[in-house]
Amino acid sequence: MNIFILNKGRLVRYNFLPLVRLWLFYQAHRLRMGRLFFNIMKRIDLIEQRGWLQEAPKKGA
């Protein structure tokens, strides 16, 4: 899988596969980090629902 890129007026044959592989790896990494962040946020929400992170109830509230 090769792609031809016009570089400074001359055709340069560029191997496209490493770039695709890098892009796919980046996408997978971003997805995994996103999922990790989502899980952390979900866990914080659960903790808040249980009242572990809630502030002390204010008087007169």
pLDDT in the model for residue 57: 61
C-alpha to C-alpha distance for 49 and 44, rounded to whole angstroms = 9
Virtual torsion, Cα 50, 52, 53, 57, nearest 10 deg:
90
Identify the helix (H) or strand (E) that includes residue 10: strand 10-15
C-alpha to C-alpha distance for 20 and 15, rounded to whole angstroms = 10
Tens of pLDDT, residues 2-57? 556 666 666 656 667 778 888 888 888 888 888 888 888 888 888 777 766 556 56
C-alpha to C-alpha distance for 10 and 6, rounded to whole angstroms = 6
